[in-house]
Amino acid sequence: NAGVTQTPKFRVLKTGQSMTLLCAQDMNHEYMYWYRQDPGMGLRLIHYSVGEGTTAKGEVPDGYNVSRLKKQNFLLGLESAAPSQTSVYFCASSYSVGNEQFFGPGTRLTVL
């Protein structure tokens, strides 16, 4: 049981490049989330999904897109990376909205 896994662990991009972060969970959870973590600002919700084929905007969605084509996977895309998107990105999943969220190990992204 791997829990929540994230790919890649580290990435460096140049301004304007695009990339996709992959999150996978093997707990059959309905809910999945993408957060970004910046110093002194805690975890901020980017987008989330309440089930396969559904996505919704969180607190800071601008500049990001997501897709949930399969229940176990949640993809976060950056179409045109900006230095302001330098951050650590965490994916999480939960059985329902009121249950424990299980977090992945994070992806450290640097945009030059």
Partner 1 sequence: GENVEQHPSTLSVQEGDSAVIKCTYSDSASNYFPWYKQELGKGPQLIIDIRSNVGEKKDQRIAVTLNKTAKHFSLHITETQPEDSAVYFCAARGDTGRRALTFGSGTRLQVQP
Interface residues with partner 1 (CB under 8 A) are 4, 33, 35, 40-45, 48, 56, 58-59, 90, 92, 97-98, 100-101, 103-106
Listed as own residue / partner, the contacts of 52-58 with beta carbons closer than 8 Å and 24 or more positions apart are: 58/33, 58/34
Give the nearer residue to partner 1 in terms of CB position, either 69 or 98: 98
Query: Is residue 52 exposed (0-12), middle (13-18) or buried (19+ Cβ within 10 Å)?
Result: middle
Give the span between the Cα atoms of 82 and 56, in whole angstroms: 22
Question: In the complex, what is the shortest distance from the CB of residue 68 to partner 1, in angstroms, rounded to a whole number?
Answer: 15
Give the nearer residue to partner 1 in terms of CB position, either 17 or 43: 43
Question: In the complex, what is the shortest distance from the CB of residue 80 to partner 1, in angstroms, rounded to a whole number?
Answer: 26
Question: In the complex, what is the shortest distance from the CB of residue 94 to partner 1, in angstroms, rounded to a whole number?
Answer: 9
Give the nearer residue to partner 1 in terms of CB position, either 57 or 70: 57
Give the nearer residue to partner 1 in terms of CB position, either 18 or 57: 57
Cα-based angle 81, 82, 87 (whole degrees, multiple of 5): 90
Total residues belonging to the chain: 112
